[in-house]
Amino acid sequence: MTAEAGTENAGKKRDTPGDTDEEHGTYNIYLMGKRYKVPIGQTIMAAIEYAGYQFIRGCGCRAGFCGACSTVYRKEKEQKLQFALACQTRVEDEMYLVQIPFVPAYKARYDLGKMGAEDNTILTIYPEIARCVSCNTCTKSCPQDIKVMQYIQCALRGDIEKAAELSFDCIQCGLCAMRCPADIKHYHVGQLARRLRGKYIDKRSENLKMRNAEIDEGIYDNEMDDIMNSEDDVVRRMYNERTIESEEG
Amino acid sequence: MKFIDGYPEYMMDSIKVVEEKREENLIKKVKSLSPEARKDILSKYHPDYMADTKREVRIGVDKGSMMYNGIVDLIEARSILDTGEVDLSRVDFDVDLLVVGGGGAGTVAALFALEAGVELDNILITTKLRHGDSNSMMAQGGIQAADRPEDSPLLHYLDIYGGGHFTNKKELALALAMDAPRIIDWHENLGVMYDRTEDGEFQELSGGGTCRNRMHSAKDYTGMELMRVIRDRTRNLDIPVLEFCPIVELLMDENGAVSGGVAFNMETHEYYVVRAKATILATGGSGRLHLSGYPTTNHYGATGDGLVMSYHAGANLRDLDTIQIHPTGDAFPDSVIGILSTEKIRGLGAAPVNKLGEPFVFPLEPRDVESAAFIKECKDGKGIVTPTGMPGVWLDTPMIDLKHGKGTTEAKLAGEVRRFRRFGIDMVKHPILVYPTLHYQNGGVEINEKCETQVPGLFAAGEVSGGVHGKNRLMGNSLLDYNVFGRRAGIQAAGYIKGRKVGKLTLSHIDRYNRAVDELKIEGDRKAPIIVPEYRGKEALARALDLL
């Protein structure tokens, strides 16, 4: 099996079968069907640049945090489509690659201040989660290996806390939503769950409340005024005489 | 070459030595350096103290100031914008507030401007990439705020000011320390999921150069958690955002006030004239300039555009004779060189050790000192050199579970563990190799505590601004910076708008600047800002034609 559907216009045909040049350190990859030779060991992102592309879309933090470079690929002789972040995945030989520049998924508008964290809160805002057919395609498409279907099921059950926890590492690339047969917008559901938990479920800090009350009362104003008006050598001495908490205990 | 658990055999041999000494190293503590010793190591090993890394600027308001070579290259360059092609009589967006940049500072500024009374449809955020694509998104370790009883704003202030080698603008350091607890409160109300103990208190760690544990975190995705929450808030409010349309030059009016900017649609190559009563510059940093040849932790768009644009408009810059190199950039494998391994790894107890398994520096020195110590160790031949010639020292990550219990690394550093696993390395079991990487633009456009620059109509906040951190920033103060000064910029700009009348728009300042550049008679045709870095393969570039 060589070029398949959608790859007829794939630049040059391979010169000879298996001419991938591991010895000279290059792989063949196909960017939207066009073949390029790229050095072994690079990330998909670096390989695309090596091939001569200058990114506008499809490139963000380059470190796995932003979800800009979600990539769909298939390896020659395989049927399965796979999902990855271009900046976090090494290029492999005979990869057919495309990047998803944008996800047109709907995002609900809501005012977090005017809602609670009730069992049905998420379901009210994103009712389509009830359509989940448990096909697990979302989980399989997640480049972060998040148990996406599970957190959707948690959201459906009203377990906001767990939905928030399971979705925490989401980088919002949107691949889950692009693949879902039920048009669920998982990554937006996760965002809502986490904000609900942060605002309504997790206990608040008493220390913080006290400190803000102290600041509002102005109890630090005098000492801050003093230090602002102190000579630099005084401040330096105070700095050098600090006790360092992490060096003790 | 034979690989074992992701490492070449010879590196694994060194890891075995590290393992043998681990128990001893858990108890053995290296004390922090005296002020004199710090100064000594910095002067010998940090790029800020090397003569060949920077030079004097020959043009503009800061003529005669020293800045890093890569920044001077941009300053001493013609504008990328051909002013003759822009029709200022046709205004595409007429707003009260233009926010240049859609990262942390810009987003916070827009939210607080709205709260301070600027109408929704009179705000426009423009951004080079997508809304949220920024260094803010990538910060892992945490955000500082002195909220524990054993801590105080005064101690936080001392850390900021001392960490910055007493070169910070004091009023900015004061604002940073004093506003911090109210920022955390704002985050609580927005629903940020901070790491907490069972009683609801924050789990607070120490960071390099901090005297108290005051690092608030959200696993090792703190920046991402903050950014996605404030962005979600912005989206719920439908604050207008123009993506992939960076501002490439600022507009001024006939009275010399900044009055908006020229946006460039990177996809259609159209320009848009944005007229605004107030402009907040929030373009972030400049790691992608690779100053002094360092790899960088920064996101793709961090090319220092804001420095260039504001300088063209007459704003002054400061502290750009320093850069922050972060001690723990990844040095192995090649595909992750320069990417950050968070300071939280050391906060949790992992110690840097050399190839002989010896600890050689207190793990939580301020970043510049820690970096200098790593560079010294490698120059002294006690580092590991990778097969492609990249030097590094070990960061002994397995110490974390030994100190805090099995599973801690996976729970607290999920992102890091995942990142290394993708490249075949298990940081729970084996140390990771690190070397300093370009991380943060310490200085920038000088602001005061109201976020005003020297030019009327122009405010600045976040990494693009200068003065908050002086010549060195501590961990956990950049997330704080963009919140504190983003908020202040938004509120101040909202007030400024009320009395502002915009005169006739002009780009004459660009023409004047170009003429001054021409007088320098620089070879080649350097243009700035550069918008995106150039990483295309040499072969492909050599054959590139500019036909379209």
B161 touches chain A (CB under 8 A): yes
- Same-domain pairing of B483 and B493: yes
Distance spanning both ends of chain A, measured CA to CA: 65
**The pair of three-digit structure tokens given for residue B440, joined into one six-digit string:** 């943060």
* Structural domain range at position B85: 79-322+441-506
CA distances from B95 to B90, B99, B254, B387 (A): 14, 10, 18, 55
CA distances from B539 to A234, B295, B394, B536 (A): 59, 22, 35, 8
* Domain-embedded: residue A236: no
* Domain-embedded: residue B537: no
Summarize pLDDT for A110-168 with one digit per residue, the tens: 999 999 999 999 999 999 999 999 999 999 999 999 999 999 999 999 999 999 999 99
Tell me, yes or no, if B326 is annotated catalytic: yes
- Same-domain pairing of B105 and B155: yes
Q: Which of A53, A223, A245 sits opposite B536 (nearest CB)?
A: A53
- Same-domain pairing of A193 and A125: yes
**Across the interface, do A50 and B232 touch by the CB < 8 Å criterion?**
no
* Domain-embedded: residue B293: yes
* Domain-embedded: residue A1: no
For residues B378-396, one letter each, b for 16 or more C-beta atoms within 10 angstroms of the residue's C-beta and e for the rest, the string is: beeeebbbbeeebbbbbbb
Between positions 457 and 496 of B, the ones with CB within 8 A of A are: none
Between β-strands B444-446 and B465-466, what pairing exists: parallel, antiparallel or unpaired?
A: parallel
Residue A177: how many CB atoms within 10 A of its CB? 22
B153 touches chain A (CB under 8 A): yes
Per the structure, the count of domains in chain B is 2
Q: Is B399 helix (H, G, I), strand (E, B) or coil?
A: helix
- Same-domain pairing of A119 and A95: no
CA-to-CA distance for A14 and A19, rounded, in angstroms?
Answer: 7
* Domain-embedded: residue B478: yes
> What's the confidence (pLDDT) of residue A3?
34
CA-to-CA distance for A113 and B148, rounded, in angstroms?
Answer: 27
For chains A and B, CB pairs below 8 A equal 232
> What's the confidence (pLDDT) of residue A24?
57
Residue B290: how many CB atoms within 10 A of its CB? 15
Question: Do B28 and B359 meet the contact criterion of CB atoms below 8 Å apart?
Answer: yes
B149 touches chain A (CB under 8 A): yes
Which amino acid is present at A31?
L
Q: Which of A200, A210, A227 sits opposite B157 (nearest CB)?
A: A227
* Domain-embedded: residue A144: yes
CATH number at residue B93: 3.50.50.60
C-alpha neighbours within 13 Å on the C-beta side of residue B538: 1
Residues of A in contact with B419 (CB under 8 A): 63-64, 88
- Same-domain pairing of A122 and A197: yes
Question: Do B236 and A188 meet the contact criterion of CB atoms below 8 Å apart?
Answer: no
**Across the interface, do A169 and B188 touch by the CB < 8 Å criterion?**
no
> What's the confidence (pLDDT) of residue B1?
72
**Across the interface, do A42 and B244 touch by the CB < 8 Å criterion?**
no
CA-to-CA distance for B324 and B345, rounded, in angstroms?
Answer: 18
Q: How many residues does chain B have?
A: 548
Question: Do B202 and A208 meet the contact criterion of CB atoms below 8 Å apart?
Answer: yes
Residue B51: how many CB atoms within 10 A of its CB? 6
pLDDT < 70 positions in chain B? none
Summarize pLDDT for B378-417 with one digit per residue, the tens: 999 999 999 989 999 999 999 999 999 999 999 999 889 9
Stretch (H or E) spanning B264 = strand B258-264
Residues of A in contact with B266 (CB under 8 A): 56
Q: How far is B228 from chain A (nearest CA, A)?
A: 8
**Across the interface, do B219 and A168 touch by the CB < 8 Å criterion?**
yes
Question: Do B272 and B245 meet the contact criterion of CB atoms below 8 Å apart?
Answer: yes
> What's the confidence (pLDDT) of residue A2?
34
**The pair of three-digit structure tokens given for residue A148, joined into one six-digit string:** 């996406």
CA Rg value for chain B? 23
CA-to-CA distance for B132 and A106, rounded, in angstroms?
Answer: 18
Residues of A in contact with B288 (CB under 8 A): none
Question: Do B44 and B376 meet the contact criterion of CB atoms below 8 Å apart?
Answer: yes
What global pTM score does this model have? 0.94
**The pair of three-digit structure tokens given for residue B299, joined into one six-digit string:** 């996101």
- Same-domain pairing of B262 and B411: no
CATH number at residue A143: 1.10.1060.10
- Same-domain pairing of A126 and A150: yes
CA-to-CA distance for B485 and B247, rounded, in angstroms?
Answer: 21
- Same-domain pairing of A90 and A129: no
CA distances from B426 to A65, B11, B23, B165, B386 (A): 19, 14, 19, 37, 18
**Across the interface, do A195 and B162 touch by the CB < 8 Å criterion?**
no
A222 Cβ contact list (under 8 Å, min separation 6): none
**Across the interface, do B170 and A207 touch by the CB < 8 Å criterion?**
no
Residues of B in contact with A144 (CB under 8 A): 418
Between positions 415 and 444 of B, the ones with CB within 8 A of A are: 415, 418-419, 422-423
* Domain-embedded: residue A222: no
Per the structure, the count of domains in chain A is 2
B285 Cβ contact list (under 8 Å, min separation 6): B135, B298, B302, B304, B440, B441, B444, B463, B464
Stretch (H or E) spanning B157 = helix B153-163
- Same-domain pairing of A116 and A197: yes
Summarize pLDDT for B24-71 with one digit per residue, the tens: 999 988 999 998 999 999 999 999 999 899 999 999 999 999 999 999
Between β-strands B143-144 and B204-205, what pairing exists: parallel, antiparallel or unpaired?
A: unpaired
Which of A77, A99, A121 corresponds to the end of one domain? A99
Name beta bridge partners: B384: B392
* Domain-embedded: residue A33: yes
- Same-domain pairing of B318 and B456: yes
* Domain-embedded: residue A85: yes
**Across the interface, do B154 and A89 touch by the CB < 8 Å criterion?**
no
- Same-domain pairing of A147 and A74: no
Tell me, yes or no, if B78 is annotated catalytic: no
**Across the interface, do B537 and A90 touch by the CB < 8 Å criterion?**
no
**The pair of three-digit structure tokens given for residue B442, joined into one six-digit string:** 């310490």
> What's the confidence (pLDDT) of residue B2?
82
- Same-domain pairing of B274 and B414: no
B305 Cβ contact list (under 8 Å, min separation 6): B128, B246, B247, B248, B283, B529, B530, B531
What phi and psi, each to the nearest 5 degrees, are found at residue A35? -85, 140
* Structural domain range at position A188: 112-201
- Same-domain pairing of A124 and A43: no
CATH number at residue B392: 3.90.700.10
Which of A57, A75, A99 corresponds to the end of one domain? A99
Which of B439, B469, B488 corresponds to the end of one domain? B439
Between positions 171 and 210 of A, the ones with CB within 8 A of B are: 171-172, 191, 194-200, 202-210
Task: Calculate the CA B106 to chain-centre distance.
Answer: 14
Peptide bond into B529 cis (omega under 30): yes
Q: What's the CA angle centered on B320, arms B184 and B507, to 5 degrees?
A: 95
Q: Which of A109, A110, A212 sits opposite B182 (nearest CB)?
A: A212
Question: Do B424 and B12 meet the contact criterion of CB atoms below 8 Å apart?
Answer: no
Between positions 45 and 84 of B, the ones with CB within 8 A of A are: none
CA-to-CA distance for B413 and B222, rounded, in angstroms?
Answer: 11
Name beta bridge partners: A71: A84, A99
* Domain-embedded: residue B26: yes
HEC string of B44-82 equals HHCHHHCHHHEEECCCCCCCCCEEEHHHHHHHCCEECCC
- Same-domain pairing of A135 and A192: yes
- Same-domain pairing of B315 and B417: no
- Same-domain pairing of A78 and A136: no
- Same-domain pairing of A172 and A124: yes
CA-to-CA distance for A129 and A183, rounded, in angstroms?
Answer: 9
pLDDT < 50 positions in chain A? 1-21
- Same-domain pairing of B315 and B329: no
HEC string of A114-151 equals HCCCCCCHHHHHCHHHHHCCCCCHHHHHCCCCCCHHHH
DSSP state of B340: B
Question: Do B14 and B22 meet the contact criterion of CB atoms below 8 Å apart?
Answer: no
**The pair of three-digit structure tokens given for residue A147, joined into one six-digit string:** 């148990």
* Domain-embedded: residue A207: no
- Same-domain pairing of A55 and A123: no
Between positions 246 and 305 of B, the ones with CB within 8 A of A are: 266-267, 297, 299-301
- Same-domain pairing of B385 and B406: yes
- Same-domain pairing of B371 and B292: no
Catalytic residue among B275, B326, B430, B473: B326
CATH number at residue A92: 3.10.20.740
Which of A59, A76, A99 corresponds to the end of one domain? A99
